[in-house]
Structure 1
Amino acid sequence: MELVEHDDLDVLIRVLLDQGYTVVGPTVRDSAIVLAELTGADQLPSGWGVATDAGSYRLVARDDSAAFAHSAGPQSWKSFIHPAHERITTSDWDESGMVFRAAAEPRPRYAFLGVRPCDLAAMGVLDGVLARCAYPDPGYTARRDGVFVVAVNCTEPAATCFCVSMGGGPRAQGGYDLVMTERVDDTGHRYVVEAGSEAGRRVLDSVPHRTADAADVEAADADLTAAAERMGRDVGRAMPEIDLRQLLADNRESPLWDEVASRCLSCANCTMVCPTCFCTTTEDVTDLTGDHAERWRRWDSCFNADFSYLHGGAVRTSTASRYRQWISHKLSTWHDQFGTSGCVGCGRCVTWCPVGIDITEEAAKLAGSHD
């Protein structure tokens, strides 16, 4: 384990920029902690945390200078490796007829700074869906390959977090080039750092660091243990003996679907902020002359009424059926398709639901009705 002083994060960012990376990390904007391009450590949200609850999110000032002591914000890293809007093809008329071309969009070489363990797990889930599959998505793999990941272990879970019960944190389990645990106390502001790849080791060698002493390593481990014990929510707390996959499979006709539908707006907020939802649709647009056309791919959601449209009409016409589809896929049938859960416990769907629907509470209600 190594130790890097907070003041040397600027060096880390400069090293990554000098190697041709576009550095993306958390920053404060529009009363939220969002992900954006960074050029210096002064753009990090130092001294800011967040307070969350079901349907509630707000910035709060901290009494220290911690830069990563905040829970997941409204964006996830999915926005950069599986963007919300992407041009796929263009076509133009010329003397030979209509000519189609694959869109050749420039793709930055990303370095992600401050990836929380839940989001790191989510990137692994997306890899399984879009890269490690029979037909990898070329746009996704082009963006994902070569991403340099600096993860930050989570010592400040929010009231809506439940990553422990989903295996998503608070300690990063792999898939990073560097992982840091932030420490702020009377002796200073620093990070316990470990390299997870050769590329990470080379970057760390270019940043001032020293061997971490046992006290810092033990304190960092204690902080992570404490974080795991104070998760705001736990999808398994009310049903420790229940097989969640089977529970959802056995409750397709539960009256609870109509109850949650009476509150759900079908607004799709939960799927838009989810770091693992991947569904898309395509749109064709033309200019006013009709000589130029483009095909675009954009995010879609199973909460949209026409998402399940087949010839003759939509399959899931009710809000109840659409909510059932979402939670059943996320927590149950995703295992059958991709060999893992589709949920990492980041809590975004709880925080950003306008009416405060809580996936952990809905699962617990199903478990109670099942008994």
Structure 2
Amino acid sequence: MLKKINVFRKGMMNLLTKNIGISSPPGSLANKPFKKVLVIRPNHRLGNQLLISSLIQEIENTFENCEIDLFLKGNVGKIIYSNYPSVTGFICLPKDHFKKIGNYLSSWVKLRNKKYDLVINTVPESSSGRLATRFANSTYKIYDPEILTGRAVPKDYFHIAKKPVYNLREQTGVSFSKPIPKLNLKLTDAEIAKGKVLLQDLFNNQKETIAFFTFATGGKCYSKSWWHETYQFLKEEFQGEFNLLEILPKENVSQIDFKAKTFYSEDLREIPAVIENTSIFIAADSGVMHLASCTNTPVVGLFSVTDSKVYGPYGASNIAINPFTNKEALKTQIPVLLKKPLSSLYQN
């Protein structure tokens, strides 16, 4: 019953909020000395909250000594942005707002009572995001217009992490050619060192490590037969020189039936700290793939259901491939990223 009510609620919210909001005109925010900015992303999923880290870094780079508040859902954002000194406040809607209606309403009251210089809605399709942007107390607001009116639309404009950055640049006059900040958790040296120790405890050798994540939600999850074939390739091609490590989800499931060494942690920052110490990370579109994209380890994102132009990993050596339309891509790209020649067994 609650699911049906939620579907109805979302439909009504989209209908009621689709025409809310007009952003400030292009260039109107240039040279503004903003000191308090609110970023709005009321979605509880790990990946969606990680994907606003590019925008937060852009705000830091644009408005000197600016304080940033985040309007989110759930508490995972507090962990993600714990090492961002600029992020000074959180307004978090409860994940189960029907069961915690008091907390839900108090979050909206808190939102209204705070004064901001600028409010940025990151996703135009979010009815809650548009409503929160409208409800927030600020002179300047960016609702995320569907098109840019001042300059030519960049080729990568529709990437969900890059689009709000470009929209902010449209308002501030910052060049579109400037590199977009990559996703970043701002892991500390101590966290990375701990990840290295955890990895050494697992293998107790000096080999480098290939890490992968076999789980994903819904149709994004590849079959066991596909993953078994891929794991067999990794074993035959690389196990002599590399350790093979499967990162497990909280559901404790494995598409290769736990045939490789595994790692899981309830500490959300320990997982990327371990990945930071590996040589490559392979995963389908998922929150953990975006978590890995926050590290300096090359990420191979597997995309056959969702659009890599919207959700694909970017920056550094990160790539997105469709293993069904290009069946050899995985086997050819992994050696390139590892800087290892492919053996004759798998060469054409």
Q: Which structure has more RCO (C-alpha within 8 Å, separation ≥ 6)?
A: 1
Greater strand fraction, Structure 1 or Structure 2 = 1
TM-score range, shorter chain: under 0.3
Q: TM-score, normalised by structure 1?
A: 0.25
